[in-house]
Structure 1
Amino acid sequence: MQDGEAATQNRADLLDLNDLRIFTYVAVLYSFSAAADELGIHKSSVSRSIMRLETLMGTPLLNRTTRKVKLTRAGNVLKDRGVEIMKRIGETIGYVGELRLAPQGELTICMAADAGLEEQVQQSVLPRFLERYEGVSVVLRSTAQKAELRSENVDIAISSGPTHPPGSSRFVVLARWLCASPAYVARRGIVQNLDDLSMHEIIATNDRETHFAPGLGNLFELEIFKDLRPRLNIDNLAGARHLCVQGVGIACLPEHMCRAQVRQGELVRLLPDLDIRPLDLNVFYPSKRSAAPAVRAFTELLRASLSSAAASPALDTQASLNIDAADMPGDTSTVS
């Protein structure tokens, strides 16, 4: 190693990263006082750090005036390099910390009842999560009360609806399908257009403010359905799906709740080209622990599970009907 290289290496070995950090704050804020306030230290500590750094570098980094700080040429160079170095150090510390800090502790999850997530979470997401993260215990709740979703002891709250509650963000968007059982279609006839729905039994969830809850009723926001009333109201999506499978009537269900039943032939999808507004799921973190490893891990696992279901290949609707035309009431010649 040559003498110049050795001297440079010696200075690098003597560099105090905290002095470099303090310098970058001064250089970005152009003020000793502002840097001291931002870092929560005394202004004298800032001055000493800058002096040590200038002595180590062998050149002035700042020109001090009574009102503000001006960077020298060397100071400008060090500012750019220092900001990048601090950013990389922060990223490295965060990455290593994530490797070391596995999800652990208690995790409280609260889901809006009209989101229709209970089955997906209980049968798919939660078993995988608990198996993968042995240090986490889970409290899982479903509620129809908006206030409960905002309780401060809730780590992850998931709501549904077209509007985002304050502080929340859109989590995932799910398609909705209009479904009936093969037995119902055989008994009452296939739905060939929107007008046909007025002659069918409609299953919806109950809602205090409207005839249809957000989870099922957006189909009926269309003007053509302004006078349509359901034959049956029920207060949960799983119950609506069960009754639909039993042949009671037609229901509008989130895709993740009915895709398997359609594939297995328990339900058939009606009017697949009908433009039904999708179901928006929103997520927020009342306990302010959104950065906790357990919170991030569960949120991403649920998102991946729902996205995977939505991304699976579309089903052949007519093939899934599997109904003998002779069993269909009325004229079926127009059915493709």
Structure 2
Amino acid sequence: MQDIETGAESKVDLLDLNDLRIFTYVAVLYSFSAAAEELGISKSSVSRSIVRLEALMGTQLLNRTTRKVKLTRAGNVLKDRGVEIMKRIGETIGYVGGLGLAPHGQLTICVAADAGLEEHIQQVVLPRFLERYDKVSIVLRFTAQKSELRAESVDVALSSGPTHPPGSSRFVTMSRWLCASPAYLDHRGAVMTPEDLDKHDIIAIDDREAHMAPGLSNLLVLDFLKDPHPRLNTNDMAGARSLALRGLGVVCLPEHLCKTGVQKGELVRLLPDVVLRPLDLQVSYPSKRSAAPSVKAFAELLKASLLSASSSTVSEGQALQASIEVRNGPSGEVEN
């Protein structure tokens, strides 16, 4: 028994935690290629890590075929343990790093370009945050590259769409509104029913990564559009709003991007009773500093701000609770 324990201890000493981390990505995604993309490393690096880990464990963890990866019994066990170990390590690093400290130092934020948050973060959230926390400096990046959202230097990563990095969690859900300018509607006619949209120019936000047809049919619960091809297609949400304001068509936007325009009479909300699929924003903390005061403070302020800007998606109690959290400051906390 002592020999077995001694052998296990020696393997722990030899274990490279990065190999374990890479294995958990392969195990969760069932894919060497997807794991390599998520981690921002080469597929050959992933393969070498798995080989080293299997040699150390003395057993096969994965069954590789031409196209797929399947976990062995040992692989399934290590997957469950590995995910838990990585989670605890991240929590520990973040907790110890934030003990007894006010928000300070550099905070790196990376936001997916298709999240539509550029304007809101730069014009609403950052001015408030920097005024409140004068010892924090910000590195802000907006990107269309998924790999940048997973860089280990990133403290807060925000993404949208159906596919998110492993370990990400739902941050906030935003409702979407269908809008057009008064001038456009005067020229092209009112939109009284969903079927009327077939007669109108559609400004679509390109959503290729969601593997959905562009246009509005990917957003509406009822697929009533005969022609899903838009007149205009852009990957810039703020740009899509500008096009709609100039009277170039009908657009579907997150509420926080069009609510003010509707209130000012610059846009008209169409078909308010039609249910649109909401925009789910996800958050992840690649640097493992989720418990750091600056990270928590920014995340809480952004969340409260979005809930306030999109009040129709949440109860008054939820918005009030988020505002209280911000006022009080951060709380402790497969294919090959």
Q: Give the TM-score taking structure 1 as reference length.
A: 0.61
Q: C-alpha displacement at 1:101, in angstroms? A: 1.4
Is the alpha carbon distance of 1:114 and 1:226 closer, same or farther for their aligned partners in structure 2, counting shifts above 3 Å? farther
AA paired with 2:198? Answer: S
Q: Name which of 206, 211, 214 aligns with 1:212.
A: 214
Is the alpha carbon distance of 1:109 and 1:217 closer, same or farther for their aligned partners in structure 2, counting shifts above 3 Å? farther
Residue 241 of structure 1 pairs with residue 241 of structure 2 = yes
Please tell me whether the aligned partners of residues 173 and 313 of structure 2 are also in contact (alpha carbons under 8 angstroms): no
Partner of 1:257: 257
SS at match of 1:131: helix
Partner of 1:156: 156
Partner of 1:147: 147
SS at match of 1:251: strand
2:219 and 2:122 mapped to 1: Cα distance?
A: 27
Mapping 1:294-309, distance limit 5 Å:
294-309=294-309
Please tell me whether the aligned partners of residues 155 and 290 of structure 1 are also in contact (alpha carbons under 8 angstroms): yes
Please tell me whether the aligned partners of residues 173 and 279 of structure 1 are also in contact (alpha carbons under 8 angstroms): yes
Q: C-alpha displacement at 1:145, in angstroms? A: 1.1
2:217 and 2:103 mapped to 1: Cα distance?
A: 38
Q: State the identity %.
A: 64
Could you list the runs of 4 or more consecutive aligned residues of structure 1 that deviate by over 6 angstroms after TM superposition? none
Structure (1 or 2) with the larger CA radius of gyration: 1
1:217 and 1:143 mapped to 2: Cα distance?
A: 26
Please tell me whether the aligned partners of residues 204 and 217 of structure 1 are also in contact (alpha carbons under 8 angstroms): no
1:162 and 1:222 mapped to 2: Cα distance?
A: 19
1:101 and 1:238 mapped to 2: Cα distance?
A: 37
Is the alpha carbon distance of 1:217 and 1:122 closer, same or farther for their aligned partners in structure 2, counting shifts above 3 Å? farther
Partner of 2:273: 273
Partner of 1:132: 132
SS at match of 1:290: coil
Q: Deviations over 1:199-224 (max 9, x none)?
A: 100001234454428xx763257432
SS at match of 2:107: strand
Runs of at least 5 residues in structure 1 that lack an aligned partner in the other structure:
1-36, 38-93, 315-336
Partner of 2:67: none
SS at match of 2:114: helix
Is the alpha carbon distance of 1:226 and 1:285 closer, same or farther for their aligned partners in structure 2, counting shifts above 3 Å? farther
Q: C-alpha displacement at 1:235, in angstroms? A: 1.9
Q: C-alpha displacement at 1:164, in angstroms? A: 4.5
SS at match of 1:159: strand
Partner of 1:283: 283
Is the alpha carbon distance of 1:170 and 1:286 closer, same or farther for their aligned partners in structure 2, counting shifts above 3 Å? same
Is the alpha carbon distance of 1:245 and 1:211 closer, same or farther for their aligned partners in structure 2, counting shifts above 3 Å? same
AA paired with 1:254? Answer: P
1:313 and 1:104 mapped to 2: Cα distance?
A: 32
Q: Deviations over 1:269-293 (max 9, x none)?
A: 0000010011000000011110110
Mapping 1:6-45, distance limit 5 Å:
none
Structure scoring higher RCO (CA < 8 A, sep ≥ 6) equals 2
2:304 and 2:217 mapped to 1: Cα distance?
A: 26
Q: Deviations over 1:171-217 (max 9, x none)?
A: 0000000000000010011101111101100001234454428xx76
Residue 190 of structure 1 pairs with residue 195 of structure 2 = no
AA paired with 2:214? Answer: F
2:169 and 2:226 mapped to 1: Cα distance?
A: 31
Please tell me whether the aligned partners of residues 108 and 156 of structure 2 are also in contact (alpha carbons under 8 angstroms): yes
1:217 and 1:112 mapped to 2: Cα distance?
A: 23
2:212 and 2:181 mapped to 1: Cα distance?
A: 26
SS at match of 2:280: strand
SS at match of 1:141: strand
Partner of 1:166: 166
Q: Give the TM-score taking structure 2 as reference length.
A: 0.61
2:195 and 2:135 mapped to 1: Cα distance?
A: 55
AA paired with 1:154? Answer: V
2:312 and 2:231 mapped to 1: Cα distance?
A: 32
1:246 and 1:133 mapped to 2: Cα distance?
A: 38
2:148 and 2:263 mapped to 1: Cα distance?
A: 36
